[in-house]
Amino acid sequence: MTLFNEIPRKHILTQNLAAEQSETETVGKELRRYIETAGFYAWLFRRKFSHSIYVEEPDAVAFMDACNEWRNLSHYTIAYWVNDGKELQYTPTSTPPYHQPTQITVDYTNNSETNAFPELSLQKIFSDCTPEILEASVDLGVNLLEQLKKPLRHLSPDIDAVDWLNSIENLQKQTLPPKTIVGVVGNIGGGKSSVIHAMLDEERLVPTNSMRACTAVVTEISYNHDKVSYRAEVEFINLLDAHGNVTTEAWRQETEASIAYAKIKAVYPEYTKDMLQKSSVTRLLEHSKVQELLGGKKEIFEFDPAQLYQKLQSYVDSKEKTAGKKELEVWPLIKVVRIYVKAACLSTGAVIVDLPGVHDSNAARAAVAEGYMKQCTGLWIVAPITRAVDDKAAKSLLGDTFKRQLKMDGKLDSVSSICSKTDDISILECQESLDLEAQMSALWMRSKEYSTMKQRCEEQLDMLKETKAEYIATLDHIDEQIEAWEGFKETIENGNKVFAPGNKLPCRKRRRNRNSNASGSPQKKHRPSISDSEGDHADTGSESELDDEEGDDSGQPLTLEVVEEKLTELKANKRESRLHRQKIDAEMKLSRKEISKIKEKETNTKAEMSAMAISARNEYSREPIQQDFAAGIEELDHELAEEVDASNFNPEIDVRDYDEVAKALPVFCVSSRAYQKLQGRFQKEAHVPGFQTIEETEIPQLQAHCKRLTEASRKRNCQRFLNGVDQFFNSLRLILSPEGIQVTAEQKIARAAIVEDEYKAFDKELEKYLKSTCQHIVKEIEGDISQVCDKAINITRKQANKTVRSWGAPTNDLDRPAGGLKWATYKALCRRNGVYSNGQDGHNWNAELIEPVIKAVAPNWEKVFSRGLHDVLKRAAKESASLLESFHNNVSVKISQETGPLESSHMLSQQIPLYQQILNDIFSRQILEVREKSKDTSRMFEPVIAETLSPVYEVCVEESGRAPAILNVFDCFLTALISIGSFMRMKEAMSTFVHQARDTMFHQSVDAVRKALNEMCQSLEEALLSQIEKVIISLKRDYMSAVHRGVLSKEKRDILKDVLETITESESSFRKLAIPFKEM
């Protein structure tokens, strides 16, 4: 067909001139010019009827605008249309004259230009970018995929279109941001809540319970994406976990029964003791208000954090001390509290979980706490810095059982130590203990100088105050005299006689002399600020002369002139005294300013000393804390190694590099109070010395650490999405890739047969390899875990009786762990199926009985699930990638040998790394999945023991030794005697039962774990086979599209071209995201 019919004449001439001037050029250059021109018109014709400019403007104007638009296109887009233009063939019938284009005949199938195809590789564009840039690219990719849905839906019910739409849906599901759980643990009073509030940049948000007998609920804090600033959810348990009868033990403070009774009483305040004793769990659950709460949620929305806190506090706090009518309290029914806040440190997906502990007397909350512990990506231990080093917080706060579980979970590197309350410091103690005398001596001297200067100024100010008081008294006295003499003047003016005053003034009583202090002693007459002559003059002109007048009683009447002269004199004295007082006021003002400046300098000096001491203590504390933590891990490793093989145990051989363990422990020394003050909060509290910037409080560093914990999972998630998008886009391009005009139908069939044969061989070999890999894992687990457990059963069985006897041994008040348990604790443990914490010590009988098995298997458990399985599956990922590459090479070589080169080979080769990355992602996800399952499995030893011992626990709980007819008469003494008898029967029942059950229950515990491990391996094999099968089916579809696709309908081809054009044109948007980062 003719391409130039719709072009203005002057543009034809331009083209002809260019063609005529280039007649001497090579055919290759002519070919490229022709192909580029054809690509331009292929692009132009597609837009001619979709752009209003071609309708509203003349052809010439429209054409020039189109040319400008063409030049501004990216080279990828131009390459796409150049490739598309190859299908437009122009063959003139004769040699072109001046005004005609040159005829060119070319074999397109052998031209390397057929490989020019626009390709957008997101993985390449965003390689080595920050998580923020990657997340922005994911958002852009999601929007692009959403745009592609509309045209692809027009092809429905086309099978390919359905597959493409499903691929888009699956890709979009991958964009859900991963959660990073950060568990925060710490003892009461350790500053845990304060640290959390400072991190959130909130003054007060997380609710607390003021009742001493209540364990705080688990609080989960996440980022709030809603428009409302603050949101909270209060989730309630499904059923009450308390059960049994109310006993006399419930009236004793701080016992486990009293805590349970307090909770029941809070929920049912109208019930008396007798009513509760006669009630059952079923009857209590039938309460209408309780039924409304159980298993439900309450949502709170607020713009003001104070309002949110108050509303949450109404749910969580106890009202037992409030007066008035008691109402139902819901805090015992709360399972977990979730708070959503717009805190920057949570914006990247971190979730802070305030963990009160796993020994809550409410089983539902204890299970929630335990569940979060398994999910934690990071575990933060908070302890005051004043105790962090001495108490070895990172070592002692995590008990041996807990550290062993961390080791088995492969999470020893997830621990961070947070030393709180760094503002609580004694400068003198720090100076002595940290040898800071030389550094701080100059500061101490300066501080003493300021103190001396301040003292002198304060003494001078006190003297000025005394002098001022004297002048105020003098002015009062003069005012009295003036008032009296003005009365004399008025009397004379009225025509009456007035005599000089005697001992008393006729007008009024003399005012109390203010020159006496509060104790009645006279004030000092010395005035340091005024000369002695001035002082004498003031005395003479006021008090002395008045005394003279009072003593003058000559009997001669006063004249008006004498009275006026006296008034003039008194007023002059008053003016002079007022001037002196004003002068003293000015001196006092200057003195106060000077004192204020000195105080400020003194405060700054002390703050400088505090800062030096705080900084020195912080730096000193880090290394011991790190070393103590590493020492704790080393002790645990040695203990476990000796348990496994005592004969070959060598303490000189380290299981791991403990120096690296120490260095890897992040330690933050923070002051939440100083941070809050520097941020303008805590207005009513005093200034915190020693901190000039918020960075010195280390709260910003802790916030950044919180964000960093999310980086690995965020990058991994984004890169997996971008890799999937690249693979999907390439699959679409393969549909429209050129086949070449010389490929016959027979060659297509032959090529398809080659792909099919090679695919079957590849599929079979890959399946065989995957199964062998899983079988290798099964054998490794059997040898390193199951067999070790079996060997440890005998040791566990032998130690069981000794362990049970230790529970009932006599108590040792001097060394509590060395002695047995008291009756109340023993019974509390039985009531709670062997698990109980009384605030001082935590006990878990089930774990103690199975501990020898867990100790024996812990080292191998970590080796298998933290290192061994990871290495096996990573090798499997590499081998699978190698098999995939072999498949591609085999297909390419055989097709080339039997049917000629495959035109789409280069595009297929670009798909291989993408599919290899998808395979690698599958193996990586399975590694994480198996690790998560191994955490659950490692916790299955103990529940089997608890279930086996449940009958004897019930027997011990029922063992009360009551004597109902006598109990009300003989009070405490008889109760104690009966308790002794019941305690002996409880211990006897426990010993007898364990002795009989030890032959079976440990085998049952190990068998339960073995069964779970086998199921885990089976699940791993099924997951790998099914997920990888989907990948290689998609791979086969790509190869079939390249070698033997059917003829596309015009509608389908046009829609796919529009889709690919949209993809190509989006390149500039993606590059704009990446280029600023890569230019930094």
Report if residue 1039 sits inside a domain.
Answer: yes
What pLDDT is recorded for position 1009?
94
Q: Identify the CA nearest to 712 among candidates 130, 50, 66.
A: 130
Residue 184 φ then ψ, to 5°: -115, 120
Identify the domain containing residue 998 by its residue range. Answer: 737-1044
In the Cβ-directed half-sphere of 210, how many Cα atoms lie within 13 Å? Answer: 8
In this structure, the answer to whether residues 124 and 113 fall within a common structural domain is no
pLDDT digits over 937-992, tens only?
A: 998 999 999 999 999 998 888 876 543 333 333 344 444 444 557 888 888 889 99
Q: Is residue 33 part of a domain?
A: yes
Q: For 429-467, give the DSSP string.
A: HHHHHTT-HHHHHHHHHHHHHHHHHHHHHHHHHHHHHHH
One domain, residues 153 and 99? no
CA–CA separation, 650 and 654 (whole Å):
9
Distance, in Å, from the CA atom of 160 to the CA atom of 150, rounded to the nearest integer, reads 15
Which residues in 405-432 are b (16+ Cβ under 10 Å) and which e?
bbbbbbbbebbbbbbbbbbebebeebbe
pLDDT at res. 343: 93
- The pLDDT of residue 881 is 94
* Joined tokens for residue 909: 């080769």
pLDDT of 793 reads: 92
- Looking at residue 1068, its pLDDT comes to 80
Domain match, 283 and 300 both: yes
- Percent of the residues in the chain that have a pLDDT greater than 90, as a whole number: 27
Measured CA distances, 618 to 187, 430, 614 (Å):
20, 11, 6
Query: What count of other Cβ atoms lies within 10 Å of the Cβ of residue 344?
Result: 14
Strand partners, 837: 842
Count of domains observed in the chain: 5
Q: Assess whether 172 and 237 both reside in one domain.
A: no
Return the closest-CA partner of residue 225 out of 353, 354, 336, 347: 347
Domain boundary among 317, 342, 367: 342
Mark whether 216 and 172 lie in a shared domain. Answer: no
Does one domain contain both 928 and 830? yes
Q: Is the residue at 89 inside a domain?
A: yes
pLDDT at residue 262, as a whole number: 55
Q: Does a structural domain hold residue 621?
A: no
Same domain, yes or no, for 546 and 485?
Answer: yes
Q: Are residues 136 and 97 in the same domain?
A: no
Q: Which of 18, 59, 66, 16 is nearest to 43 (CA)?
A: 66
pTM for this predicted structure: 0.70
Distance CA 457, CA 595 (A): 6
**Same domain flag for 512 and 566:** yes
Final residue before a domain boundary, out of 310, 325, 342: 342
Cα–Cα distance measured from residue 341 to residue 304, given in angstroms and rounded to the nearest whole number: 11
Q: What pLDDT does residue 862 have?
A: 85
Q: Which ranges constitute the DSSP H helices of 645-710?
A: 658-664, 672-678, 699-708
The structure tokens 């104790």 sit at: 519
* Three-state SS at 135: helix
Quick one: 168 and 31 in the same domain?
Answer: no
- Check residue 21 and give its pLDDT: 43
Q: Is 395 inside any structural domain?
A: no
- DSSP string over 829-888: HHHTTTEEE-SS-EEEHHHHHHHHHHHHHHHHHHIIIIIIHHHHHHHHHHHHHHHHHHHH
- Same domain membership, residue 1070 and residue 1012: no
Those residues of the chain that have pLDDT short of 70 are: 1-37, 42-65, 68, 71-120, 156, 208-216, 239-293, 295, 317-329, 331, 357-369, 388-401, 502-555, 643-646, 737-742, 838-841, 960-980, 1045-1047, 1075-1080
- 459 part of a folded domain: yes
Q: Which of 606, 624, 658 is the last residue of a domain?
A: 606
* pLDDT value of position 323: 46
**Tokens 């009988």 -> residue:** 845
- Pairing mode, strands 334-341 and 230-236: antiparallel
For residue 523, being part of any structural domain is answered with: yes
CA distance 649 to 632: 18
Q: How many CB atoms lie within 10 A of CB 238?
A: 12
What confidence tens digit (pLDDT) does each residue in 308-340 have?
Answer: 998 888 777 655 544 445 566 676 778 889 999
The predicted pLDDT at position 333 comes to 76
Helix (H) or strand (E) holding 959: none
Tell me whether residue 938 is in a domain: yes
CA 232 vs. chain centroid, Å, equals: 17
* Same structural domain, 770 and 848: yes
Beta-sheet strand order (sheet of 667-669): 297-302, 230-236, 334-341, 218-223, 350-354, 180-186, 378-384, 415-420, 667-669
